[in-house]
Structure 1
Amino acid sequence: MRISDRLSRIKPSATLAVNTKAQELRDQGREIISLAVGQPDYGTPKHVCEAAKVALDEGFTRYTPVPGIPELRKGVADYYTHFYGAKTAPENAIICNGGKQVLYNLLMALVNPGDEVLIPSPYWVSYPAMVQLADGVSVFVPTTAEEEYLVTVEGLEAVRTAKTKVLILNSPSNPTGCCYTQEQLDAIADWAIKNDIFVISDEVYDRLVYAPFSPVSLAKKWEAHPESIAIVGALSKSFCMTGWRVGYALAHADLVKAMVKIQGQSTSNINSITQKAAVAALTGPWEIVDKMKESFVRRRDLAYDIITSWGALCPKPDGAFYLFPVLDQFYTEEAPDSASMCTKILEEAGVALVPGSAFGDDKCIRFSYAVDDEILLKALTKVGNVLTGI
């Protein structure tokens, strides 16, 4: 069978590979704990589920406008006004099948063949593949654990060329959990605007940040420069709606129209029932976010203390629910890189993790702490025993 050449450039998902191996071991009767999950361990709030049930009962099961139903687009616009003080309008919002489709639509709308897209590294696993699918060129901007994996204007300027057209920023970060301050975000945005570089600000975890850090966004900067910035959001993480597949963008109305063209020829509107549920989520109440944040802070501190007790270098994250420690000091001839070390840990300890190579840094391994405290403690103890040879 003939398969298109473009797919030969796309690597399989590392997280899916981990899940496949973990399931194989479960099928053999092994107890496997997954710290590879990228979703909260809480359920979708009842009022959101009730809104979906009402939509079903009322027969809201037909096609909707491609960019989303009007009340949901208004809900997204109002979200950025309410939390970040940005003046927005429903025509600045588009609803997509999760944050992933938002990013894909944006890159397809913005990138021409050969355009360079700056991606701070480590990065979320799908950014480079999406750039490739858009016929762009990924240019990775290295950061280090010592600088909390945060890119600087100087680091960006060092790799900028005449072909640089787009910058992807992610805060809070997946995989590191590290966050930019408002001042840092604004400074980077100002540099990009000055150099005619479009900024895609991936803010999917924006509500999951921990005191003393506060949620930040480029929404106000977008208000002043809507032709130069687009913001990506979703309800997957903050509202425990990963399986509902609802993401959104705040963008210039002309860019939204371009994204509608792409989505209209691929998926059309997202699930109609999900849209009604998303309206309920965006209009509140938001107590579940505060409840999750309390547990995530506790789990973060627990995991951080254990991981650093191994002698690992690891920035303490201010958001999301991941830790990204440097663990290459534990690599051996048997397990010389992050992928083989994750396989070793999975086979010997029964704990699933994601190799740092999937995120552009082979020295590291990603740990999710979106699991129950006792399970987290048990898993980390097992991992520590493998790494330290106990």
Structure 2
Amino acid sequence: MADTGDWKKIVAGISDEQVLKLEQAAIRIPSTTFEEGALADHLANRMSDIGLDVEMMEVTHWAKPGKTTRQPIARLRGTGGGPSLMLNGHMDPGVEMSGWSVDPYGAKFEDGWVWGMGAHDDKGGVVAAICAVEAIVRSGVRLRGDVVICPVVAHKLGGAGTRALMRKGVRTDLAINMEHSANTIANVCVGIVMVRIKTKSPELFFRYSQEAKAQYMNPIEQQAEIMRRIGPSLDPIRPGGWLRFTAHPDLPGFPTHTFDTMHKEHYYQKSYTGMSSRECEMIFQLRTVPGQTLETVRDDVQRLLADIKKDHPAFDAEMTIPANGMEDGWFQDPMEVKPDHRLVTSLAEGQRLASGAPAVVGGWGRLGNVG
């Protein structure tokens, strides 16, 4: 944390007009997932103008090798001897919905609010990071460690931009994700893992032998039994049940889950998946809490399936976890940084000095992945 004199010089270099101007410019540049190039160029030019070392990185779509986009990596170099810090936020909007009452790319400013596509999620975070570092540069304060600003692409593809940074070897000692959190400090975050389960059964028509019937369990009904034992979507999963975990005080309501897709073909109907009519496939996702891992979740689901098999000998299911393999972008471990960690305490002190109010730390409210 800078001393009080440095802090005052830095804060004096930030104005509402400066932040608003860059935020409106960012909103007015459409940046759909894997179409962020124009915004990347604009932000790169701005960061270069304020004196940062900027590199443009090409990112290739993990499922469409011929499709690319780009993201800037900007560095404010320190004097040496201090920890490095990454400020990471995404350029593609969270959800691009229709039905706007204002122009989603108009960046309307009214009554202290900015309206537009991605204004909150996450262009506001990216702009806040850039304006904060610009204020440090203009103040003349020198930091010991490097600050790296990474406006990344394709967060809707499972954080493809950040994963590309990691593969490139971009590393810092500390990192702040600029994702929206209602001006709170989210030092704890749930994890996500998607599970694919395929159930199978021999075909059986309306005339059958008892031997054939004993080997048959409708694949849809097999999935229904799985769903029954897991419980309704978005209901908190109770301790002591099929899923092993220790409840986290900052994450009430977690772990939980949603059933996301179900596919089953019929030989008299048009096929949409190419699967056999003897198969049914479901994907569901779990939001996990610290202490849970991919291995513990895999064991828990496998045990649930084995228990069904004991009760229904014709039950036949195979599981894939993560649903699309280990490279699946929609897989991340839960995260927790202790409240007394220097990054958390420094953020809290900075927020207090900037706002005059104490910071809220933890999984406050129900903020998407945070809690």
- Larger relative strand fraction: 2
Largest Rg, 1 or 2: 2
- Larger relative helix fraction: 1
TM category (shorter chain) comes to under 0.3
* Higher RCO (Cα < 8 Å, 6 or more apart): 1
Give me the TM-score of the superposition, normalised by structure 1: 0.21
